Chain A
Amino acid sequence: MSDNKIKIEVPVMAELAAQGHKPEWLFWVGSAGAFDDRYKKVTREFVKLLTYLGVDYAVLGIEETDSGDVARRAGNEMLFQMQALQNIEILNGYEVKKIVTCCPHDFNTLKNEYPELGGHYEVWHHSQFLAIRQKAGDFKDITDAFASKKIVFHDPCYLGRGNGEYEAPRSVLDAIPSEKVEMKRNKSFGLCCGAGGGQMFKEAEKGDKEVFIERTEEAIATGADIIATACPFCMVMMTDGIKYKNQEERMKNYDIAELLSLSLGL
């Protein structure tokens, strides 16, 4: 690597604990963030942002296990609770107080569903985390990398309708010089990407078309160059949709963290 690059050593909770350090934030990577090839890139860009901001954080690493969101919504409550209780035991063991995650499903599960099983944390979605930093003026040296681009934001159900957060991802995008457009169905009217409730892992039922195609068509109709997403499932679906509609040349799909990181030249 050239001299102007810095190697990031991602801090792991167990190692910090061994040194007697309790970081302020736990970055919850999530299964998609850890294993999905496309979303691993988002995880890496978000870690760059954390480093850029000088955040005191750590990840659980191999101690993290699936949050159980998919299992629960697919009806497997037993498996969900097994996962949740394992995670809670680890998180409580490290006396974790604040959690940030790039996945709105894990955000929802950890924030709303872990408390009933004994896990009480202050949980932030990365859009909220970045929006606060943006408002505080922490992204001053942002570039014009996307100035000529038109960006449309697709609301993740579990961030938007699920938890009422529509503004944070938009204010992150506002920090990036570019043109913003909205789809006809946006915010609380937003159409699902089609992957929630376990759909990601099964064949779609018989119908006229697949949900992700319907949504991608709506995004394409805005004339945007970029579909901004803030959820690993939405990302898979929108990327597939762009491919299906043969728009790969014209249209790209990025997570809001990637757009910010790229704008900052990290």
Chain B
Amino acid sequence: MCYKSVISVSNARSELIFVFLISVLLQPYKGIKNRIMTAQILFALSLLITLAVFAFTMRRIFFNFRFTRKKKLTNYPARIRETVKVAIAQQKIFRHPVMGLVHALVFWGFIVILFGSLEMVVDGLFGTVRSFAVLGWFYDLLMLTGDVFAAIIAVAILIFLFRRIFLHVKRFYGREMKPVSKADANLALSFILLLMLSLLGMNTFYLLEMHNAGQDFEGVFPVSQSLADLFAGMSDKQIIFWHHFNWWFHILLIFVFANVLPYSKHFHVFMSVPNVFVSRIEPLGKVDNMENITKEVKLMLDPAAPMDVAADETVEKFGVSDTTDINWVNYMNALSCTECGRCTAVCPANITGKLLSPRKIVMDVRARMKEKGAGLMKQGAAFEDGKSLLGDYITEEELWACTMCNACAQECPININQPSLILDMRRYLVLEQSKAPSGLNTAFTNIENNGAPWQYSPEDRLNWAEELYMNKA
């Protein structure tokens, strides 16, 4: 196919984009160091589409943050340490050492390979080949680790797929795990597998192409080098085709993948590291104080307190009944969750057959926010659709089954805090609706009247100390 025919095809609006790409791939080869302009234009166009779609999606997702409650972030040094420990070093995923290692390898591999993807964007835009090679030994190191990691990730993904499809891992099932959740997982894994295969293919045929042209190659590729031997018999033309094919396939798949992720649980890939940074860093046992209640209680205990404190206050809802009552960190948590189910697997309530599943609570927050998002965007905070998180998604039965043991929060590899959400919904039920199980209402009354959850007189609080004897030491 000649150059002109490419132009004419590009003018025909009805043709699909991949026809352009195949045409570009099939063009007479015009030298290793410089790609032809058409390819650059096509690349810039696909990058533009990618960014535009991504921006559109991000706007829809992030717009919802403005309807969440404020929460101040403090202690940045501790947050950085936590991010290094939990996100970069993958500390918590190693609580399951074997599968933890497989995940950590995928994560670390992604980080290294990301540099290669950036290089591809630069190369694609400027028609260069392996432009980051100017980094010298560091480039060799990046390519070496990237090449090895590509193979490791491919194997890891095969393990993940095998486990999901053939082994019955209990935590991948559950009331909240709909067929779409499973399809989601397998789709993302397949994407990653293809990404790794095309990366290795690109490197392999790059090596062959350079070899056949009698030129030195940039970088170090131990895995691709051995793969290259398998394809050494191919013609120059085939090798050039497959080099370009893998290059385009890899980068375009990244573009598509990046735009699919935000619509699936694999938005995790983007959100998990920032989520760890903004996550709760206080001891798990600590509950967040309700400032608005403190003001009221201080007034009650001290009638002499200045009344303008009360007058000042806008009527604020206590607790959470819908996603517009949650704080922004709760929403971050929900966007980052990849539904691994480690939380639910350790939940004492869930283990003993109760309705509660901490994973479901987090998934419900995301689903409800998504549902309400479109209306919120059009009509603002006043938007009502007659539904709410508490009631339509989460039942009281689930909330009251929680023992606040924090096993879920401890387990979450990215520091999602499920108990704080559960508690905030309990707060709504108790403070706004006076709806608590009768046993708890009795305990409340006792605490209020006797200073203990049981019905004893406060005067008897020291009775335990009577007639207390010990042996002489």
- A: which residues have CB within 8 A of B? 1, 4-8, 10, 12, 29, 31, 33-36, 40, 43-44, 47-48, 51-52, 59, 61-62, 64-66, 68, 70-79, 81-83, 85-86, 108, 112-113, 116-117, 141, 157-158, 161-164, 188-192, 194-211, 213-215, 264-266
Contact = CB atoms under 8 A, between A and B. Distances in A.
Contacts of A112: 282-283, 285-286
B301 interface: yes
Contacts of A8: 465, 468-470
A70 B293 contact: no
Contacts of B437: 202-203
B402 A78 contact: no
Given A113-B289, A264-B473, A12 B462 contact: yes
Contacts of A71: 443-444, 447
A108 B403 contact: no
A221 to B, nearest CB: 15
Interface string B270-306: 0000000000001111110110011011101100000
B440 interface: yes
Contacts of B459: 62
Contacts of B349: 205, 207, 211
A34 B436 contact: no
A77 B456 CA distance: 22
A75 B431 contact: yes
B439 A65 contact: no
B430 A75 contact: yes
A195 B454 contact: no
Contacts of B458: 62, 65
A44 B464 contact: yes
Interface string B439-454: 1101110011001111
Interface stretch (B28-36, B239-247, B350-358): B350-358
7 smallest beta-carbon distances between A and B, as pairs: A162-B285, A208-B353, A197-B404, A75-B426, A202-B439, A192-B405, A65-B451
Contacts of A202: 400, 437-440
30 contacts: A1-B469, A4-B471, A40-B464, A73-B426, A75-B426, A75-B427, A76-B430, A81-B297, A82-B300, A85-B298, A117-B289, A157-B403, A157-B404, A161-B405, A163-B284, A163-B285, A188-B95, A191-B346, A195-B403, A197-B402, A199-B403, A201-B439, A202-B439, A204-B354, A205-B355, A205-B356, A205-B397, A206-B353, A208-B353, A266-B473
Contacts of A73: 287, 404, 423, 426
Interface centre among A164, A199, A203, A206 (most CB of B within 10 A): A199
Nearest to A185: B346
A85 B444 CA distance: 16
Contacts of B468: 7-8, 10, 44, 47-48
A104 to B, nearest CB: 8
B461 interface: yes
Interface centre among A113, A117, A197, A211 (most CB of B within 10 A): A197
B284 A161 contact: yes
A162 B351 contact: no
A147 to B, nearest CB: 19
Contacts of A192: 348, 403, 405, 407
Contact of A157 (B294, B397, B405, B473): B405
B440 A74 contact: yes
Contacts of A205: 349, 354-356, 397, 400-401
A202 B461 CA distance: 23
A83 B431 contact: no
A217 to B, nearest CB: 11
A189 B355 CA distance: 21
A52 B423 CA distance: 42
B412 to A, nearest CB: 12
Contacts of A68: 447
A121 B40 CA distance: 66
Contacts of B109: none
Interface in B288-344: 289-290, 293-294, 296-298, 300-301, 318-319
A14 to B, nearest CB: 11
Nearest to A261: B470
A215 to B, nearest CB: 8
A148 to B, nearest CB: 22
